[in-house]
Structure 1
């Protein structure tokens, strides 16, 4: 009875007014925009099984929805609609609210709901983390079907979690669109996640999964550091020599110029003669 709720009260969830909904949507508009294709694909997978798909904000308010027209009246009656408030403070134990409260994927199946009026629902939900590793949203697949098997629930859970990861990846790539995105290696702490690396090969961003896998904090990421230190370890990295960096820059210029020395020299802002001297000193084959 943490929130003083009566399990027998039959009122539907509170619905935001138009102004409140607009403000809530604006706060996560970029994420909602990037999620559209993923929501469509997820709904194509689960819609025919009598499920609706909801993407909520971090306060448990659905801001986008997919559903079959024939099922919509029942879902609306139960409050599975945009603008409704599904946090735990309002609805007690429920898929969206409990997922957001605990920050983990879960399924609240029928009588596991706190409110009696929600026990006909089965809700599978996965958290969505933003590019800074903060909880931003929840992806929910809900159904009123009473004949769900454990096997089908597992399939729905897997599809929901995968879709949530796709939304996270899209948001991360969009946030760091001017950086190189690197897939981190799995560690004993978990999957490697995504890293954003700048032109100097410094880590400037990390997804939630990467933060957990490598033990990264906001304080560490506030000061960009070499990606190689994270991916191969400080002890294992080669000696830090200027010639190594110079050799890499020359090789990249030659590759971009398809071996043309004059063109490569222009890319590096040096003369052709200087470029030839560099090739000899660095032990690289001469181009054209």
Structure 2
């Protein structure tokens, strides 16, 4: 498709206030809300080295958690000539993985560290539209708003922070002219999975002293919901998926709640409680019933061990006698 035809198509689709597709709605936002011109070739906005260093410092803990996952994702997609990017919530590229042979192309296109890919500046694009809509997106070639971006395909997924707000976007971009929508779908699925892994790892790192419960809810039977529970069995943290499933505060701090109130009645053992009971019994068995020794092996205090034993209905003889 020529640049002129692309510009006409975008302009025509953007004129209707009742845009019937998500893509058309994004084009309309780009043109009407942000005042962009699909034919524009203005220079991309790049942070200075000092500004980028400040951003990286602010996101230091998150970046250290995300780094290994970026490496793994790149190992999967690098044979296809893809560029792996991680941005902050504003769409600024903070880190990337790219083959040396492809680096010059992606740098020329602005898919590089320090460049701002927000929808407000770059119109419809994988990173910016993912962040604007808070969902996984694939922007394939002439789905982009700017004609200058139509040579690339971008697969993106949002990463949600422990506070329920978007903290980053994970992007895989391709420069291949033969990139197909089917191949985009395969890459997009891997991007979404990696984004969830980063989100879960950062959630765990954000509550280092809490017990992390992997829960399930009938509203989202296929989703892994993470809850952070303190030493008093109060729920003090929840991933975005868990917040939505259990009707918790959508964003920000959570009101502490007894974990049992969320996971079921106290007189019914949840899957986690059964697993916890088995863990405590195994520790007591290895310690031959010595509660203090078992507590040390589990990394908790003697008093906390006794409280857990009482809550789980475990007697002091559990390390010597098998339990039903």
Alignment partner for residue 259 of structure 1, among 289, 306, 312? 289
- Select which of 232, 256, 266 maps to 1:237: 266
Question: How far, CA to CA, are the matches of 1:287 and 1:34 in structure 2?
Answer: 38
1:87 Cα deviation after fit: 0.4
For 1:66 and 1:253, the matched residues in 2 are separated by 43
Distance (whole Å) between structure 1 residues aligned to residue 252 and residue 56 of structure 2: 31
Question: Structure 2 matches for 1:7-26, cutoff 5 A?
Answer: 7-26=38-57
- 1:214 to 2:246 alignment: yes
Equivalent of residue 115 in structure 1, options 140, 146, 154:
146
Of 64, 74, 81, 1:50 maps to 81
Higher mean C-alpha displacement, 5-14 vs 260-269: 260-269
Consecutive unaligned residues of structure 1, counting only runs of 5 or more, are 240-247, 270-277
Aligned partner of 1:245 in structure 2 is none
Distance 1:263 1:95 in 2: 54
Match of 2:198 among 143, 159, 167: 167
**DSSP 3-state at the match of 2:47:** coil
Distance 1:8 1:75 in 2: 20
Structure 1 residue 60, shift from structure 2 partner? 0.4
Distance 1:109-1:219 versus aligned 2 partners, 3 A rule = closer
Closer/same/farther in 2, CA of residues 210 and 77 from structure 1, 3 Å limit? same
Instruction: Measure how far apart 1:89 and its partner are.
Output: 1.0
Counterpart in 2 of 1:228? Answer: 260
Cα shift readout 1:42-68 (whole Å, capped 9, x = no counterpart): 000111111100000011010001001
How far is the alpha carbon of 1:29 from its aligned partner? 1.5
Return the TM-score normalized by structure 1: 0.83
Query: In structure 2, the residue corresponding to 1:185 is in which secondary structure?
Result: strand
Deviation of 1:139 (Å): 0.3
Aligned residues: 265
Is 1:152 the counterpart of 2:152? The answer is no
